[in-house]
Structure 1
Amino acid sequence: MPKRFVLRAGAIVAASALVVIGAASSASAHVTVSSPDAKPGGYAKLVFRVPTESDNTSTTKLVVSLPKDHPFAHVGAQVKDGWKVEKKEEKLPAAVKVGDVTLTKAITTITWTATAAGIPPNDFDEFSLSVGKLPEGVDALSFPADQTYSDGEVVKWADVATDGAEAEHPAPTLKLAAAVTPVAASTDSSDTLARWLGGGGLLVGLLGLAFGLRPRRAAAVPAVPAVSAEKQ
């Protein structure tokens, strides 16, 4: 294989890896929310991951807003060493039925305030809530958050992506997975098989390209056997 092709291919692979790593680093720097057990109609643990995006200041406060259109009947906040936690309850604009309970007021914000050093520069911490019941018939829940730094700067994680573009400060959003039906499971299996087959086809294509770019040897000309003259 020509040396120039090898160098070019290596450069492309390296550049692609840097793009992927850069995208992952950018995404991980956002305040995010996840859950190990969130299901529509059930109780769940919500985990907010908070990175300190600074080289010389710390995160000293986190305020998380809970959805008012889908309020929770129960909200339990994690108690953390070095942090004071406060819950704020408000009257709802309209009564909302959650399971067998009709809510006219609900907890709408949770505030963690550092009583010590907070989250150091370039580090992260996690803050958890126990909530329920989660709404049914909803694809996702948004939890806008305010992050305060030791120098007084406040970053509002409340943007919503529009037209497919990534928001600069996206609001932490939890996607709710619906129950898996046999049809959905079959579709997922088919998609998985298709992805494996597609990956295999790509690998075969790359191998074919590699072999195709190998320098070919000149084809040997078969020797023509000598024909002896028949005796007269």
Structure 2
Amino acid sequence: MRTSAVFRLAAASAVAAATVLAAATTASAHVIVDPSSVPKNTTDQTFAFRVPNEDDNNSTVKVEIDFPTDHPVPSALVAPVPGWTDKITTTKLATPIHTDDGDVTDVVSQIVWTGGQIAPGHYQDFTVEFGALPEGTDKVVFKALQTYSDGNVVRWIEEPQAGQPEPKNPAPVLTLTAATADDGDSPSGAPSAGAGAGAGAKPAPAASNGTAATAATTATPTASGSDSTARGLGIAGIVVGVLGTVAGVLLGRRGRGGDAGTSA
């Protein structure tokens, strides 16, 4: 009886650990913007919209990023991505944005990438350089649509709320922190040729493909993805440890019971 109970407990431990690990992996596999947080006076900064493929059988064939219009990005340049074609849509502002380089009346409202593929188990970075950041807000919320080769469209448009669980399909969010004391420029690497719209920005470097197996060496993991995975692994470790301790106690009791029977 006790042996059977120990086996059942061990099986439950394995299932619990696998469930927690699976949840941690799922939580980190969504479209994000990287870096996810910068000072408000950051200029000429390259951001990557990282798109992982969550489907085991289909490739991602289209990516759409919608820019906010209530707090528009004053200027943006799009880096070419090998194998992909980008289409940039701009919108005219009712009230121009005043910058050191002059008034900005047209801003990027949408970028769509087509023609390439993100295979299962892979991700792709789509890089855009912002010449400046929106004013009057602490965050920039983008909306992303991911289309798979079977026609399925995943809409990453749900805005995370402070103090609430992460939504199923969270939108990429760029957090704007307090302005720094320096001139606001942040290093964005050596510029390369790009295409886009906006004033005063420099072309951003092209992104490269990566796989889940090499992500740790080819790109710096984002804070949100790393934290979710770390929490999941920590919880899994606690679950396994507690259940393992209980199993050890039961085995110890069974051993002592066997010894007592032999002595009698």
TM-score (norm 1): 0.64
User: Corresponding residue for 2:160?
Assistant: 161
Structure 1 stretches lacking a partner, 5+ long: 1-6, 182-209, 214-232
1:55–1:23 distance in 2 versus 1, CA, 3 Å:
closer
Where do residues 62-211 of structure 1 align in structure 2 (5 Å cutoff)? 62-98=63-99, 101-114=102-115, 116=116, 118-136=117-135, 138-162=137-161, 164-179=164-179
How many Å apart are 1:179 and its aligned residue? Answer: 4.5
Distance across 2 between alignment mates of 1:31 and 1:103: 29
User: Corresponding residue for 2:42?
Assistant: 42
Question: Partner amino acid for 1:150?
Answer: S
Structure 2 stretches lacking a partner, 5+ long: 1-6, 182-244, 250-264
Distance across 2 between alignment mates of 1:11 and 1:20: 14
Question: Partner amino acid for 1:26?
Answer: T
What is the root-mean-square deviation of aligned Cα atoms in Å? 3.5
How many Å apart are 1:139 and its aligned residue? Answer: 2.1
Shifted more, 172-181 versus 46-55: the winner is 172-181
How many Å apart are 1:137 and its aligned residue? Answer: 5.0
SS in 2 for 1:38: strand
SS in 1 for 2:118: coil
Question: Partner amino acid for 2:27?
Answer: A
1:12–1:69 distance in 2 versus 1, CA, 3 Å:
same
1:19–1:54 distance in 2 versus 1, CA, 3 Å:
closer
Distance across 1 between alignment mates of 2:134 and 2:41: 6
SS in 2 for 1:27: helix
Identity percentage of aligned residues? 36
Distance across 2 between alignment mates of 1:150 and 1:15: 33
How many Å apart are 1:23 and its aligned residue? Answer: 3.9
Bigger CA radius of gyration: 1
Distance across 1 between alignment mates of 2:18 and 2:178: 35
What stretches of structure 1 move > 4 A for 4+ residues in a row?
9-20
Distance across 1 between alignment mates of 2:63 and 2:40: 26
1:13–1:99 distance in 2 versus 1, CA, 3 Å:
farther
Distance across 1 between alignment mates of 2:144 and 2:177: 23
1:107–1:16 distance in 2 versus 1, CA, 3 Å:
same
Paired residues in the alignment total 181
User: Corresponding residue for 1:226?
Assistant: none
Distance across 1 between alignment mates of 2:74 and 2:65: 17
